[in-house]
Amino acid sequence: MSSDYIDKFTDETLLLSRPPIRTDVPVVDIDGHKIGKISRLVRHPDTNELESIEVHDGIIHSKIIHKSEIWGVGEKIILKLTKEEYKNLK
């Protein structure tokens, strides 16, 4: 976990500055329409920093989304894309 996730660190507690991204979290488009769930996190091998997420959007379909396309992180991952823009990704 990179230090920008840590808000406060003491001998007894660790408070995060934002929710962590993890698999099986729902993914929605910028308008709140459901797209799928995170199936895999892609991290940089040297820094362990998140580079992209793999979004599973059906039985066999998935797409890699670069971290720059993530608008918000919480109970859901909100993308900067509309559902149509997501569908058009290669």
Residues with Cβ within 8 Å of 46's Cβ and at least 6 positions away in sequence, in order, are none
**What per-residue confidence (pLDDT) applies to 6?**
66
Q: What is the CATH T-level fold of the domain 20-87, as seen in this structure?
A: SH3 type barrels. (2.30.30)
> pLDDT digit string (tens) for 13-44?
766 666 678 899 999 999 999 999 999 999 88
Cβ burial of 14 (10 Å; 0-12, 13-18, 19+) is exposed
Query: Domain boundaries in the chain?
Result: 20-87
Q: What is the pLDDT of residues 29-86, one digit of tens each?
A: 999 999 999 999 998 888 888 899 999 988 788 999 999 999 998 889 999 999 999 9
pLDDT of residue 49: 84
